[in-house]
Amino acid sequence: MRREFFNWKKRRNASEMILLKLKSRLWNWNVSFNW
């Protein structure tokens, strides 16, 4: 059970990191487009 929770936490963190990367990439693209 503890291992399952750890795997779920790791998976959630990975998905959050991917979302953050996509957001930062979109933000940088918008900034470069506006400039």
Residue spans of the domains in the chain: they are 1-35
- Taking Cα atoms as reference points, which of 25, 21, 28 lies closest to residue 13? 21
Query: Per residue in 1-35, pLDDT tens?
Result: 678 877 778 888 888 888 999 999 988 888 777 65
Give the span between the Cα atoms of 17 and 35, in whole angstroms. 27
Q: What is the pLDDT of residue 21?
A: 92
Q: What is the pLDDT of residue 22?
A: 92
Q: What is the pLDDT of residue 35?
A: 58
